[in-house]
Every structure is written in C-alpha cells, then in structure tokens.
Amino acid sequence: MPVAPDVTHPRLSVVVPLFNEEENVALLVAAVRDALDGDPSWELVLVDDGSTDRTAAVAEAAGSDPRVRTVRLARNYGQTLAMQAGFDQARGAVVVSMDGDLQNDPRDIPRLVATLDSGYDLVAGYRERRQDKVLTRKIPSWVANRIILTLTGVRVRDNGCSLKAYRRATLERMHLYSDMHRFLPAFAAATAGARITEIPVQHHARRFGKSKYGLSRIFKLLADLLTLMMLAWFRERPLALFGLPALLALGLGVGFLGWSAVAMQRFRLEVANAYVLPAAALLWILLACYLLMLGLVGEVALRRARELEPELLPIAVERPA
C-alpha cells in the first residue's frame, strides 16, 4: 500500500529561485515530480524573485500539488537573497538548490542526496559537458573559478553550478547576502565548517528565455572574496585582523625613522631629510594606531552581536577514540 506523502515534514526540500521563467516553470515542476517519483517525502519550494512576467501565476497554479509551494518576493532581490528566502522556507533535513531554467537536470537530485548521506555537509554538482557559449560564459567562469580556488583553497571546480545539496544544519549556520552564491561552497566552508565534495551532473542547453548572467565583474568578485577570507580567518578575532597590518605599518614607520637618522648622519641635517622622512614615518605610525583602534571597534561589534544572539555551536561529530 502506498504511503501518503508527508507534506508538512518532508525529508527533502528542492529550492528553485525563479526570475522571469514563465515558459520553464511548468516543465520544471513536472521534471522534479518525475525525478522524485520514488521518494515518498519531498517538497518543492519555488521562489519568485520579483518576476515581471507570469512566472508567479504559473508557479502558484502548480501549487495544486501540496508538495509544491511558492514564495513571492516583493521585488527582484537577486539570486543570493532569493536562494536564502527559499532556504528559510525549506522544511527538509536535506535541501537541494537548482536553477529554474531547466539547464540542471532534476534526475541528478537522488544521486546528490545519496552522496550527501555518505558523510558530507555540502555536495556541489559540476557540469561535465557544459552547454553554454564559450566566450561569454565558459571563459569568465573559468577565470572566476581559478580566482576562487587560489584565494580560498576550497576545491570546487564549478562554483557557478546551482545544483547543490546541503544539510539543514549547514544552512542554519550560513546567512547569504551580497553575491555570496557565486562561491557558496567556500562560504559554507568558512562560516559553517562544511565537509564538501562534488559530483558530475548533467547540463542542458537553454530551451526558453534568456540567460540572466553577463560577464561577471572581477572587482566585485575580488571584494567579496576578500570579505570571505576575512570571515574564514578572523571571524572570531577582529583585533588580530587589524593588529597584523598595524604591526606591519609600525615596522614601516620605524624603518623610515631609522632611514632618516642614517640620512641625517651622512648628509648633516639637511632640511629635507629632517622633515620628509620623519613625516612619512609618522604617517605609517598613524596608520598603525588607526588600524589598532579599528580592530577594537571590531571587537565591540563582535561582542554586541554575540550578546544579541549567541552563535550556533559548530558542527561536530564524535568518533571512536
């Protein structure tokens, strides 16, 4: 006898952010339903990210199936926040995210979940035979992946692939903002200590609609990565973050002072030596003081935040000693 689907406590939540995908929504829902046919306990969370076409209407029409839910955002917030909205709504112990443009294949979901169950917190899909334009999509993506790998050291070859599986506990420890979805595995590793692996997934060419990304902007990526590295290394000790550069600046200041001393010895108190070098030295020392004070501000902010909301304990497993 078939078991009635448990709609309120699904084990698996599939989260799909949608922006102007009216042709794709119905196909997407059908594809997910087919792919998860054997799974008794799943839900599909569609997030309409302020679409200007009929996406929301089509998605809500699909809601006749109690396993399909739609969240409508008030405006277009971008993919990162749309995903976060979906994660906030998801009720499953395992959450899978994917794109709404049918380029990902829902039939990969069971494999992602199985891999997650074998002992990981995040499983990223990578597109083995990517069906996209080389110049505008593949090359920028390759550059971005290289930069992310070099700076974060997190080994994921395809950060741009949305098809990923997460444990609920991991998602609860990370709060996405800005464009953090662009390097979500590294973000998860930095802020939630996630154990990460990757498996190949299918990739189809776009059938309807237009692609939403253009050439990614390297500067924004670099700024976001700098933030990420700060979070990874100095999240709990802002004073160290600023203290180290402060020491460096102090060293430069002392160096300049010494240099001016030597110069004055050798050339006998020339006006320029007496002013330019010591003044430059003072600037470096000023910077050191300023950075130290900023570090203290960081400590204040950290303490305030922890007072307002104690952080979730990190994920840990007990193993036989």
Partner 1 sequence: MSESRPDVTVIVPVVERPVPLVALYREFSEPLKQAGRTYEFIFAAYPWYRHLTDALGELSAQGEPVRLIEVMQSVGETALIKLAAYSARGAVLVTLPAYLQTEASALPALLARVEAGADLAVVWRWPRRDSLINRLQNRMLHLLVGGITGGRLHDVACGVRAMRSEVVQEVPLYGEFARFLPLLAQREGFDVEEVQSPVHPAAMRGRVYGPGVYLRRLIDVVGLLFLLKFTEKPLRFFGLIGSLLSGLGALLLAVLFIQRLTGQPLADRPILLLAVLLMVLGIQAVALGLIGEMIVHLTASQRRRYRVRSAPRRPARPEAA
CA distances in angstroms from 23 to 54, 55, 206, 249, listed in the order given:
9, 8, 11, 57
Q: Does position 178 bind partner 1 by CB under 8 A? A: yes
User: Applying CB under 8 A, which of residues 239, 259, 261, 315 lies at the interface with partner 1?
Assistant: 259
Q: Give exposure, 40-67, as e/b (b: 16+ Cβ within 10 Å).
A: ebbbbbbbbbbbeeebbebbbebeeeeb
CB 160 within 8 A of CB 139: no
Residue 192: half-sphere exposure toward Cβ, Cα within 13 Å: 22
CA-closest candidate to residue 27, choices 116, 35, 67, 191: 35
Q: Does position 74 bind partner 1 by CB under 8 A? A: yes
Q: Give exposure, 268-301, as e/b (b: 16+ Cβ within 10 Å).
A: eeeeebeeebbebbeebbebbeebbebbeebeee
Q: Does position 273 bind partner 1 by CB under 8 A? A: yes
Q: Does position 75 bind partner 1 by CB under 8 A? A: yes
- Cα torsion angle, 231, 232, 236, 239, sign: negative
Q: Does position 223 bind partner 1 by CB under 8 A? A: yes
Q: Does position 233 bind partner 1 by CB under 8 A? A: no
User: Applying CB under 8 A, which of residues 38, 135, 309, 316 lies at the interface with partner 1?
Assistant: 309
Site residues for partner 1, window 238-257 (CB under 8 A)?
238, 241-242, 245, 249
CA distances in angstroms from 74 to 50, 55, 84, listed in the order given:
6, 14, 14
Q: How far is the CB of 267 from partner 1 (least distance, A)?
A: 8
Q: Does position 50 bind partner 1 by CB under 8 A? A: yes
User: Applying CB under 8 A, which of residues 199, 239, 276, 315 lies at the interface with partner 1?
Assistant: 276
Q: Does position 302 bind partner 1 by CB under 8 A? A: yes
Of 29-37, 109-117, 194-202, 223-231: span binding partner 1 (CB under 8 A): 223-231
| CB closer to partner 1, 54 vs 138 | 54
Q: Does position 301 bind partner 1 by CB under 8 A? A: yes
Q: Does position 27 bind partner 1 by CB under 8 A? A: no
| CB closer to partner 1, 75 vs 319 | 75
Q: Does position 143 bind partner 1 by CB under 8 A? A: no
Of 80-88, 123-131, 143-151, 157-165: span binding partner 1 (CB under 8 A): 80-88
User: Applying CB under 8 A, which of residues 12, 29, 36, 73 lies at the interface with partner 1?
Assistant: 73
Counting residues that bind partner 1 (by CB under 8 A) gives 61
Q: Does position 26 bind partner 1 by CB under 8 A? A: no
For strand 42-48 and strand 122-127, is the pairing parallel, antiparallel, or unpaired? unpaired
119, 92, 213, 161: CA torsion to nearest 10: 20
Q: Two tokens at 252?
A: 């430069």
Q: How far apart are CA 207 and CA 12, in angstroms?
A: 27
Residues in the chain: 321
| CB closer to partner 1, 103 vs 191 | 191
CA distances in angstroms from 164 to 29, 69, 97, 110, 248, listed in the order given:
18, 20, 5, 11, 41
Q: How far apart are CA 304 and CA 317, in angstroms?
A: 29
Q: Does position 5 bind partner 1 by CB under 8 A? A: no
Residues that bind partner 1 (CB under 8 A): 50, 52-54, 56-57, 71-75, 77, 81-82, 84-85, 175, 177-179, 191, 219-220, 223-224, 226-227, 230-231, 235, 238, 241-242, 245, 249, 259-260, 263, 270-273, 276-277, 279-280, 283-284, 286-287, 290-291, 294, 297-298, 301-302, 304-305, 308-309
